[in-house]
Amino acid sequence: MTKKRAMTKKKVPKQPVPGALARDERSLVALGATAAQALFGKAFRVTRDRGWLITSHWAPHALATVHPSSLLRALDEETRHRETVRFIEDLAEVLRSP
């Protein structure tokens, strides 16, 4: 298991962290756990909280999902297909947001 480097000072980035996609100024998608925790806090878990629209100070509609590279690391084709469908559904949720 790898350890994440501890930060002594937390800087607020001027733009969203790498791995975060902005559809426009009203929507934000965090791709993967690192981006999600940077934006929504260390308690955020992509495995538990993915796919839900939330309000954050970054955007009125924000959502986290898995990083696309995780789909490539799926153990078998059935899992890869299932997780790809969930990933697409997560992204579609942002497009449906007002």
What is the side-by-side strand order in the sheet with 20-24? 20-24, 27-31, 61-65
DSSP for residue 14: S
**pTM (whole model) above 0.85:** no
CATH 3.50.70.10 fits 20-96, yes or no: no
Rounded to 5°, the CA angle 80-5-53 comes to 50
Burial of 9 (0-12, 13-18, 19+ CB in 10 A): exposed
Interval 15-60: pLDDT, tens: 555 555 555 567 889 999 999 999 999 999 999 999 999 888 888 8
